[in-house]
Amino acid sequence: MKQIQQWKLALFGCLLSAFTSVSTPVFGQDTPATMMDAIAHQLEQAPPEQIAHFRDMGALYPSLVTLYENRAYQPFWLDQNSKLNAQGSALLARLADAESDGLIAEHYLLDRLNELAIGDSENNPVALELLLTLSTMQFVDDLRNGRVTPGDLQLGLPVMHSPADFPTFFSEIEQGKSPDEAIYEQAPPINIYHQLQKLLSKWLPMSKEGELTPAVLPKTLHPGDPLPTEFALALSQRMALIGAIPPPESDIYEGDWIEAVESIQRLHGLHPDGLVGKRTLAAMNKSWKARIDKLITSLERTRWLPRHTPEQRYIIVNVPEFKLRAFDGPLENPEMIMNVVVGKTYTRYRTPIFRENMTYVVFTPYWNIPNSILRRSILPNVDGPDYLAAHHYEMVEFFSKTAPTVAATAENIERLKKGELLLRQTPGAHNALGQAKFIFPNANNVYLHGTPAQSLFGKEVRAFSAGCIRVEDVPALAEWVFKQQGWDRSKVDAVLAEAKPKQVNLEQPIIVAILYLTAVVDSNEELFLFEDIYGHDKRLLEKLSQL
């Protein structure tokens, strides 16, 4: 890591020396025309070779040249004395606050910009002008598109690069728009981003004061128990963490103290039962870095989302939250929120992260058992026709609701084990897919479906499936899916009562996005933090640290 940092510092030096090596007079008393000539002279040279190796600045450099060509090389940020003007100073201050967006000021050459702005060791306003513009372009590009893409992490979400309109952006600042306002408009235009950014801005200075007092208890704390003084202090500090008023002093665990614990439990995605056991203590004692990293990774992932959503309905599943949300239009206030079960944490069973269009629903479906599940989980247990009958399994030669079944003879069971036959489970209350499956065709063969195992929805951590997503309330989801086709609950119930497979196509597809956000702010602006069950946060943070 130290060698990487030394390499970065050396690269900064090469890059900046390339900007400052142009033979120009001292600009303290130059006329604007001379300054324009100096900027033109610099930009008419071949771009510094090192730029091509530093982040995206090589790709952004031609836009920098075009930007100044189109304004006859007039500077944005220098006053008549070749010093940084008020807007330039405000822009530099906003770059210095990049950390509040989960970004790194070092990536925007902040130290060197500050040296040039002070001008004590050298007076090179051309370097200051061009570097401030180029660094801001990199900052805006990072805000709009993220520093890495889903493809960099081998995720199935589409890469949607959204280039900035730099001429308009810089002109508006030049003409008096606050850099804070202009940059706010470049960030993802969705509420969750701005709420997470606001929280990060609040937590960063708090984190620099040191870790919070450890929360320690000798045994599980129940309502009515005596309240240890040190635990009361630790809990009060954590109430300040989420902006709530600390509870009043009391030596009994009751009333507002219990509400405080329940708030902390909700924050960390735990069942708010007010009991303080090992899981609640572990959540309370997470480090500042662990909490802030969740904000940083979620901010980065929101930059992968489309900036402007089409007039279309959405279903979004947030895997580490074990929640589904259904939206009709802007992704702000969901029309439905539902618990889900997602894939197990083992690599082969994880629910993939991707986006596709839902096009049809199959009510009262067969479960066509995938070969992987058949080989691993079923065939080792098949000892005869009684086993197949007990689990409502049928052997067929091909998957179709009209496929004829094959008799469960010993000979045919051998054919099944050799891979010559397929296995399915009949429709009904016993069926692993429950009352319906909601299909959005994809290479992962993942879909939403019901389940007879309703007890799983009462668990805090709901990672039990082989990759598909089980939904808690099939009739409610089906009613929402088909409401634009005139369906109500009675229509859904009537189709389910037919007790036989029936495919119904959607007249308009619904976008289904499987996402992975370990920090979420809901429509009531309440923050929730979730465990990194698949290690995706860890991999993203490692990738970001390599930039």
> What pLDDT, in 10s, does the model give residues 129-159?
999 999 999 999 999 999 999 999 999 999 9
Q: What is the pLDDT at residue 518?
A: 98
DSSP string, 224-282: TSB--HHHHHHHHHHHHHTTPPPPPP-SBS-HHHHHHHHHHHHHTT------B-HHHHH
Phi-psi map region of 293: left, alpha, beta (phi>0 left; psi -120 to 50 alpha) = alpha
| Dihedral sign from CA coordinates of 179, 181, 182, 187 | positive
Q: Which amino acid is at 325?
A: R
% of the chain residues with pLDDT over 70: 91
Q: Parallel, antiparallel, or unpaired for β 463-465 and 422-425?
A: unpaired
- Helix or strand or coil: residue 210? coil
Which residue bears the tokens 């807007």?
A: 87
Task: Report the pLDDT value the prediction gives residue 22, as an integer from 0 to 100.
Answer: 39
pLDDT at residue 2, rounded to an integer: 42
57: pLDDT strictly greater than 70: yes
pLDDT-derived band at 25, boundaries 50, 70, 90: very low
Q: Residue 286: which of 530, 538, 539 has the closest Cα?
A: 530
- The CB density around residue 429, as the number of other CB atoms within 10 Å, is 9
Is the pLDDT assigned to residue 335 strictly greater than 50? Answer: yes
pLDDT tens digits, residue range 497-546? 998 999 999 999 999 999 999 999 987 888 999 999 999 999 999 999 99
pLDDT at 260 > cutoff 60: yes
| Predicted confidence (pLDDT) at residue 339 exceeds the cutoff of 70 | yes
Q: Which two tokens stand for residue 11?
A: 């690269």
449 catalytically annotated: yes
Instruction: Tell me how far apart the alpha carbons of residues 18 and 317 are, in angstroms, rounded to a whole number.
Output: 48
pLDDT at 31 over 60: no
Confidence band, pLDDT 50/70/90 cuts, at residue 207: very high
Residue 430 annotated as catalytic: no
Rounded to 5°, angle at Cα 254 from 253 and 256: 110
Q: Give pLDDT, residue 30.
A: 42
Please provide the average confidence, as pLDDT, over all residues in the chain: 90
Question: What is the bridge-based pairing of β-strands 469-471 and 448-449?
Answer: parallel
Q: Residues 446-454: what's their mean pLDDT?
A: 97
Residue 375 has pLDDT above 60, yes or no: yes
- Pairwise CA distance, residues 275 & 545, whole Å: 38
Q: Give the pLDDT confidence score for residue 329 in this predicted structure.
A: 82
243 has a pLDDT exceeding 70: no
CA nearest neighbour of 514 among 467, 479, 458, 546: 467
* Integer angstrom CA distances of residue 520 from 202, 269, 329: 16, 10, 19
| Active-site entry in 107, 268, 468, 536 | 468
Out of 107, 268, 449, 536, pick the active-site residue. Answer: 449
- pLDDT score at 162: 93
Confidence label for 19 from pLDDT (cuts 50, 70 and 90):
low
pLDDT band at 29 (very low <50, low <70, confident <90, very high): very low
Q: For residue 9, is pLDDT > 50?
A: no
Q: Hey, which CATH number is domain 309-365+428-516, 2.40.440.10, 3.40.50.1390, 3.30.9.10, 3.30.420.40?
A: 2.40.440.10
Sign of CA dihedral 503, 508, 509, 511: negative
CATH class of domain segment(s) 229-286: mainly alpha
The 3 state secondary structure assigned to 35-74 is HHHHHHHHHHCCCCHHHHHCCCHHHHHHHHHHHHHCCCCC
Q: Which residues lie below 8 Å from residue 381, measured CB to CB, with a gap of 6+?
A: 387
> Phi and psi of 476, rounded to 5°?
-65, -45
Q: Which of 251-265, 322-336, 441-455 has the highest mean pLDDT?
A: 441-455
415-435 tens-digit pLDDT: 999 999 999 999 999 999 999
C-alpha count within 13 angstroms, C-beta hemisphere, residue 348: 3
**Are 480 and 459 contacting, i.e. CB atoms less than 8 angstroms apart?**
no
Residue 10: its pLDDT value, please? 43
Residue 237's Cβ-count burial label (10 Å; 0-12, 13-18, 19+) is middle
- The confidence band for 461, taking pLDDT boundaries of 50, 70 and 90, is very high
Identify the pLDDT of residue 367: 96
- Domain assignments of the chain as residue spans, ordered by start: 2-187, 229-286, 309-365+428-516, 371-426
Least confidently predicted of 22-31, 234-243, 341-350, 390-399: 22-31
**Predicted local distance difference test score (pLDDT) of residue 240:** 76
Q: How confident is the model at residue 122 (pLDDT cuts 50, 70, 90)?
A: low
Q: Give the C-alpha separation, 471 to 451, whole Å.
A: 7
Give 246's pLDDT tier (boundaries 50, 70, 90): low
How far is C-alpha 402 from the chain's CA centre?
Answer: 42
The average pLDDT across 110-119 equals 88
Question: Is 314 exposed, middle or buried, given 0-12, 13-18 or 19+ CB atoms closer than 10 A?
Answer: buried
Q: What is the pLDDT of residue 307?
A: 87
Residues 6+ apart with CB under 8 A from 200: 99, 100, 101, 102, 292, 295, 296, 299
Q: What is the reported pLDDT for 120? A: 57
How does pLDDT run across 282-318, given as a tens digit for each residue?
A: 999 999 999 999 999 999 999 999 888 777 899 999 9
